[in-house]
A and B are shown apart, each in its own frame.
Chain A
């Protein structure tokens, strides 16, 4: 509601916004503009601090239970000031040793400056809000967001920064440049949707998508089914279970390139299966999937399954082991046949495992690249191309960054189209349950 503005929330929000802008400016998106914007927003938050101070009226610093925290932020501000000053000539003249790490200090400089300002603001706000809120029984918003579980927040910060930096910023950057005519180097010259038009007019892209669809559907179904069946078999108190598990898991330890090469040999008519069967006397036997445009993708699929199924089996086995043995006993006493117990009781109980597995398999499908490169290099012709290879080839082979970006943006969009309803369903279910 507009009548009840929460200056504290605005404050935290603006600090976060300023931080996001700082990161974007550092990454290189509109550096000057975003930097000045960021300090503008920091200024706004300073004004907010003053406003909160005025609204708070009377201060009672002595009884302020947050005083230590505020002092802590001040100390942190001192440290970051020091860090900031390390990048400056005058400090480096006093401490010559600092010069050796000049590059590091220069990287830290903007962050240190930003941190100084933010920490001082934090300290101020804790003094002000804290002296007001310390009379409240329940911690206020600021106290909860700045003080509560502080150490875990600090510990999570590097990961949050990485996630924001890699996933959000880099993604935005990619999408942004897919609308430009960047070739070898990123440029900011907008040409609208031209890259996408070109993409969707390309036979190679269509072929890639078709292949990905076939590969994806088959690999999803087969690795789930085979992985689950193997796990269910191993779960029957099999002897030598460890041995089997190791054998099935071995391929996972190989890199895709090695798997690809191995399977290229196996499927190669001159060295592999065809040769062996022919040498047994079946002279007209033909088996050369990698040289047949219609079925080449299934050759790649075989290698992919061989590599991935063992891992899926291990995940499933862990899930099966997590099921209470007494559930099995209860089902046996109830007279439920084994297959029905699996389908109606055990698999629904393993839902979280299945979701994890699904995500892992899906990620593997989207990024399939090295297998293709090692087995066929996309051939014969373009019949085994996949989207990831398209992106890579355009970005680094054809030196057409923007085209590669457009293709990767399309991949991202399709992933989101699948993912958003899925998470929505999951999330909604949680809420209802």
Chain B
């Protein structure tokens, strides 16, 4: 009798458990494939009645008109506008707070601020949405009276606020990973704290910081409830953030919540919009991955 004989407990076996766990991870992978498959299938049906060229170059999005027009440019522009203005809010504030937390904040402050940021990240976006509509918009209207009730700026500001914690926390992680020795090297030639932060730590953590920016922006691109609630449902080509607009995501909400006939071209259009959105955010996530792996600093000696 071998004293090292394996006990036959199926659940403790190193052969069975990995398969079970593999099954779990397959669930999410298969779901992703299923989503892509459905998006593709329904989009193909859509594109049998609307040409791909017209869809991507058309300047008018009028799906409910007697003569419907499916030009996605206004929706993309709406999304780009929200992303652009929210990044003006989120990138500097997110990076600034990351610099503060990693370079300046005493441990005591950090242990208070970090959980607060995490709470901020956990607030449901619908809450942010009515915050934009009922709090930010009235303020904007006081400052600039011509501001419409639904406007891109209010939504952008709040989307920006929503993605600050993500940018701040990912950038901070990247900056905390910069070895203390690099900072000491900089201090030893007479750097101030600010110089160490800006000229040594930020450049050394740049790949992680940029990746956090790209991920944050891809969140802004995909953000739905805030823009549906506060930015309006007006697909138009406009560069004025005080007007109402419509984003890719808001259109999908509009159709999904409305009573459009299942299987109609208008109904199918959400799949074409959906796959456009999917492609954009996937592209951004891949870009973020690429940046953080390709340019990863190993700080190797």
Partners in one complex: no
What is A's interface to B at a CB cutoff of 8 Å?
A: none
